Structure formats: C-alpha cells, structure tokens
C-alpha cells in the first residue's frame, strides 16, 4: 500500500458513516480495492489515534502504515457484521503503543546502557477513551448528540432538557434511548478489549482494558 499523508491535525472534516457491509466483506476476503476504500475512510481517524498516543507526527505517520498492514494481515479474522471502525482503531492504538515503547526503550550497545532522563509516557488510556467517545458522538445525528450533551455534560434531567429544547419529555426520552443504544454499540470495544485475530490481539501486544468514562443513559423518570 502506497504511503500517503493523512490530513493535518488542524483540518476539519465532517464525520463519515461506517463503510457498507459489501465493502467490509470484500476487505475480509482480501480485496485490494476494498483495502483502498478502508484506507481512504479511516486514514485520518487512525492518524488521530496515533497522534493521541505518540504526540509526534513522524511516529504517527509510521503508525498509520503499520496499523493498516496489521489490519490487512488480520482481515480474515474480522467479522463484517460488526463495524470496522472500532476494530481498526483498536489495532491503531496498540500499534501506536508498540511504536511508543520502542521509542522510549533505552539503547544498548557494547557498553553500559545510556543513562537517559526518565520519560513518562502520556496517560494513554485516558486519552484513548476520550478520543473514542468524541468520535462516537460525532456519528450520532444532531438531535441525539444534543440530548447526550445536555444530559451527560450539563447534567440536566429529561424534564429540564425538554423545557430547554421545547420538546415533549417523551421525545427527549426516546431520542436519549436511541442515542445511548448507538453509543453502546460504537463503544463496545472499550469494554471488551481488542479482538483475537491471531494469537493474542490485532496489535500483537497484551490485552488491556482502557479506563475512563463514556456517557451513560440517564435513568430519571422525569
């Protein structure tokens, strides 16, 4: 796969929907053209994950290429009935972790190890969860995203949201239910950890369950 530069961190692009099932099936079956479609759709999200972990553009560029290579090699294990995004971005995360560990590993030659200053890696799990939640929220429609924002981030009840948006409480509740059900699907990979395409997980490192918070559905009856 030829290298290409993902968009810069300052570029803004509208959220795009998940690839259609036929494309996901073709990717699973080893169709090179499908791989190109996957790359076009997910190059920027993969790069964003890599930047979140490594904080270095040159490392993020390497992560993008290696993550897609790992995904391509693991494609036969992918279930096309599930969204490709969470599976691929989990691979990207663990690929970035591998890359960061290699960068932080002290060099050893025919002499004692160099005494470099201790470098503490960033709070990767927290950053990853935050990024994944924001990416999932972008995939909701505007009405559902606003309900989640008011409920979770501003801690309003359904009745308060209904009053603010001039909507019936029943409408707010139904939108909230749909939004949180969709978020649960999109963020399922955060709870379950990476899938097992070969002999461990798609990134080839030990499985770790990220820590952090995703929006939870309000249970008030108001």
* Confidence at residue 126, expressed as pLDDT on a 0 to 100 scale: 62
* Burial (0-12, 13-18, 19+ Cβ within 10 Å), 189: buried
Rounded Cα–Cα distance for residues 97 and 100 (Å): 5
Architecture of domain 21-103+122-192: Orthogonal Bundle (1.10)
* Confidence at residue 11, expressed as pLDDT on a 0 to 100 scale: 38
Give Dmax (Cα) for the chain.
74
* Confidence at residue 16, expressed as pLDDT on a 0 to 100 scale: 53
* Confidence at residue 218, expressed as pLDDT on a 0 to 100 scale: 54
Domain boundaries, the chain: 21-103+122-192
Q: Which of 202, 184, 183 is nearest to 193 (CA)?
A: 202
* Confidence at residue 106, expressed as pLDDT on a 0 to 100 scale: 59
Residue pair 208/193 in contact (Cβ under 8 Å)? The answer is yes
The pTM (predicted TM-score) of the whole model is 0.51
Ordered per-residue pLDDT tens for the chain, 222 residues: 544 445 444 333 334 567 899 999 999 999 989 999 999 999 988 998 888 888 888 888 999 999 999 999 999 999 999 889 889 988 998 999 888 888 876 555 544 444 443 444 445 556 666 667 777 788 888 888 898 888 877 888 999 999 999 999 999 999 888 888 888 887 776 654 444 443 334 433 333 333 344 555 555 544
Phi and psi (nearest 5°) for 208?
-135, 140
Which tokens is 53 given? 């972990």
* Confidence at residue 190, expressed as pLDDT on a 0 to 100 scale: 63
Q: What angle do CA 128, 130, 135 make, to 5 degrees?
A: 95
């Amino acid at each position: 796969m030829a290298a290409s530069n993902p968009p810069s961190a300052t570029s803004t692009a509208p959220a795009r929907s998940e690839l259609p099932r036929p494309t996901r099936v073709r990717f699973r079956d080893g169709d090179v053209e499908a791989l190109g479609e996957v790359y076009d759709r997910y190059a920027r999200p993969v790069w964003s994950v890599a930047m979140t972990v490594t904080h270095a553009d040159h490392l993020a560029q390497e992560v993008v290429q290696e993550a897609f290579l790992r995904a391509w090699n693991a494609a036969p294990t992918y279930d096309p009935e599930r969204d490709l995004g969470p599976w691929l971005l989990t691979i990207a995360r663990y690929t970035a972790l591998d890359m960061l560990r290699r960068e932080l590993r002290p060099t050893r030659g025919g002499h004692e190890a160099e005494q470099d200053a201790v470098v503490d890696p960033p709070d990767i799990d927290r950053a990853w969860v935050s990024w994944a939640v924001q990416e999932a929220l972008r995939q909701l429609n505007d009405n559902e995203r606003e309900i989640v924002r008011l409920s979770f981030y501003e801690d309003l009840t359904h009745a308060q949201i209904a009053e603010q948006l001039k909507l019936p409480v029943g409408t707010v509740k139904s939108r909230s239910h749909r939004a949180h059900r969709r978020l649960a699907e999109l963020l399922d990979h955060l709870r379950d950890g990476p899938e097992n395409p070969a002999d461990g997980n798609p990134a080839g490192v030990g499985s770790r369950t990220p820590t952090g918070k995703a929006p939870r559905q309000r249970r008030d009856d108001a």
